[in-house]
Amino acid sequence: QKEVEQDPGPLSVPEGAIVSLNCTYSNSAFQYFMWYRQYSRKGPELLMYTYSSGNKEDGRFTAQVDKSSKYISLFIRDSQPSDSATYLCAMNSRGGATNKLIFGTGTLLAVQP
């Protein structure tokens, strides 16, 4: 079993739709949770960063962490064609100088105009 599971998609939605992206994980030591957006042939861009459980909102993006279920989500409201990209979840545990991020496989999102 992989440490982090993410549906690879592709996920195709019409413009304006609410998008839900999800990851599950198995390591209960994970405390830091990130969502990255990666456009084709570009580096990952940090979208959301949350610590432990709870919700965090930034504009059209909301990140949710449920540590009891080992489940994290990213919601995109009023999706735009410019949101078309691969979305990677990533997580790690605190402590030490390693900070090794464990990534999901990424979900490819296409928002149709």
Positions touching another protein (CB under 8 A) are 31-34, 36, 41-46, 49, 51, 88, 90-92, 94-95, 97-101, 103-106
Q: Which is nearer to another protein, 14 or 96 (CB)?
A: 96
State the SS3 of the chain: CCCEEECCCCEEEECCCCEEEEEEECCCCCCEEEEEEECCCCCCEEEEEEECCEEEEECCEEEEEECCCCEEEEEECCCCHHHCEEEEEEEECCCCCCCCCEECCCEEEEEEC
Q: Which is nearer to another protein, 19 or 47 (CB)?
A: 47
Q: Which is nearer to another protein, 19 or 35 (CB)?
A: 35
